[in-house]
Each structure stands twice: as C-alpha cells, then as structure tokens.
Amino acid sequence: MIKVAPSILSADYLNLQKDIETVEKGGAEYLHIDVMDGAFVPSISYGPGWVKAIRKVSNMVLDVHMMVENPERYVDEFADAGADIIGVQVEATQHIHRALQMINNKNVGAEVVINPGTPVSAIEPVLHMVKQVLVMTVNPGFGGQKFLPETVAKISELNEIKKARGLDFDIEIDGGVNNETVVAAANAGATVAVAGSYVFGSDDPVAKVNAIKDATK
Ligand code: DX5
Ligand code: ZN
C-alpha cells in the first residue's frame, strides 16, 4: 500500500493546524510542504518559518519540496526548522551533488526531484545519495493540474535501476494524483503519493487519503 503525503498547498491556511491534525489522525504518513520562490516557478508560497511552526504541532514526516533556484542557499535553514526530508530540483542547481551532500550532512533525508521534461539519466550519478526520488507528474508551480501519464515510464525506469543497483530509496509522485491516477504509478514502483487538491479540496480529506491507499492495496 502506498504512503500518502497530503500537500498543504491546497489546505486552509487560516485553519492549517486543524487540516494537519485531520490528515495525521486519518493515517497520512507524510506532510508535503511546497516551497516556491517566484523564480524557479512563478508562484511564491512559504519559507522555513512555516516548517518550524508545523513541526511543533505534527509528528508526520515533514517532506519539504523546494521549488527554488540554487536551493543550497536554504538547505541548512529548512533542516534546522525541522524538515525530515528536503527535496531539491535537479534543474535548479549546477551542483546537485553538493546540494545533496549538504542535506545528508544535516542528517536529513535527501531527495532529488525531476520535472516531467527531465530524463532519469540526469540523476543516475546521485541516486546512491538519496532517501527519496520525486518524479513530478505535472509541471511544478500550481496545485490542481492534470496528471501526465507519460511520466509513468520514468517511474518504471527508476524502479529497475533501484533493483539493479540494490538501492532502497522511495519513489514519490507529485501532481494530479487521485485514486485513479495513482494506480499506474504504484504499479510502476511509486511508494509515496503526494496529493493536494484531491485531499484538501474535499469535505472529507481522510476518505480521500484512504481512497488513494485502497486503490494501491
Ligand atoms: C505542484 C506541487 C504539488 C501540488 C500538488 O507544483 O509540487 O505538491 O501541491 O497539487 P495537486 O495534488 O492538486 O496536483
Ligand atoms: Zn510538491
């Protein structure tokens, strides 16, 4: 069964603690926190202060997805704020190896992220360094977009490499995930599913978390 990471991008910011507690009690394992800088992606979202505040009220795995140019600049701050996993986009830095080293040096789970247009080969040299690979299943920047089915082949490719090299990273998917789109991705080897609008756009977020899990039993 796949692990679920509700994305607070679609939560009610003025009632954020309530939304977080709802999905935590409802069985979600991760909480996905989308950091956007207005440069790597058009939107601006939130910074380390949010992670610090959320850390105080939640024991979920805090999964920080940095959609930020030169993310090395902020790794230490997010680690100190209490992130459990920090994800950096391979497209956002000339020094992906150094960025992942920095995350590992803080004893935080290192994650590398690839956009829909980026091949798996771009991250092959750093796969031994990561706890998780995030395969974007939409172009990053906004919630509520449609899942891109052509990304599923990259999940299979990664899963093959994982087996062949004896690595044990999680494969996470992010964008357009619901109880239908998750099925092909899970069959291809995805082990963690981010879901924003599907979960928090619903009157019953816990039912949606369970629907994703049930679809991948
Ligand atoms: C998109 C973000 C996602 C977003 C997903 O750039 O990385 O985490 O919250 O939203 P949905 O699930 O609505 O596609
Ligand atoms: Zn994300």
State the CATH number of the domain containing residue 66: 3.20.20.70
Catalytic residue among 34, 37, 63, 170: 34
Tally of structural domains, the chain: 1
* Rounded CA separation 107/59 (Å): 17
How far, in Å, from the CA of 33 to the mean position of ligand 2? 7
* Rounded CA separation 174/192 (Å): 9
Report whether residue 71 contacts ligand 1, using a CB cutoff of 6 Å: no
Task: Give the pLDDT confidence score for residue 27 in this predicted structure.
Answer: 97
Q: Kindly list the distances between the CA atom of residue 80 and the CA atoms of 35, 73, 108, 131, in Å, as whole numbers in the listed order.
A: 15, 13, 10, 18
Digit-coded pLDDT (tens) for 116-155: 999 999 999 999 999 999 999 999 999 999 999 999 999 9
How far, in Å, from the CA of 134 to the mean position of ligand 1? 12
Q: Please, which residues have CB within 8 angstroms of residue 191's CB and are 6 or more apart in sequence?
A: 2, 3, 170, 171, 172
Task: Give the pLDDT confidence score for residue 179 in this predicted structure.
Answer: 98
Structural domain of residue 136, as residue ranges? 3-215
How far, in Å, from the CA of 193 to the mean position of ligand 1? 11
Instruction: For ligand 1, pick from 4, 10, 147 the residue to mutate: most ligand atoms within 8 Å of CB.
Output: 10
pTM here is 0.98
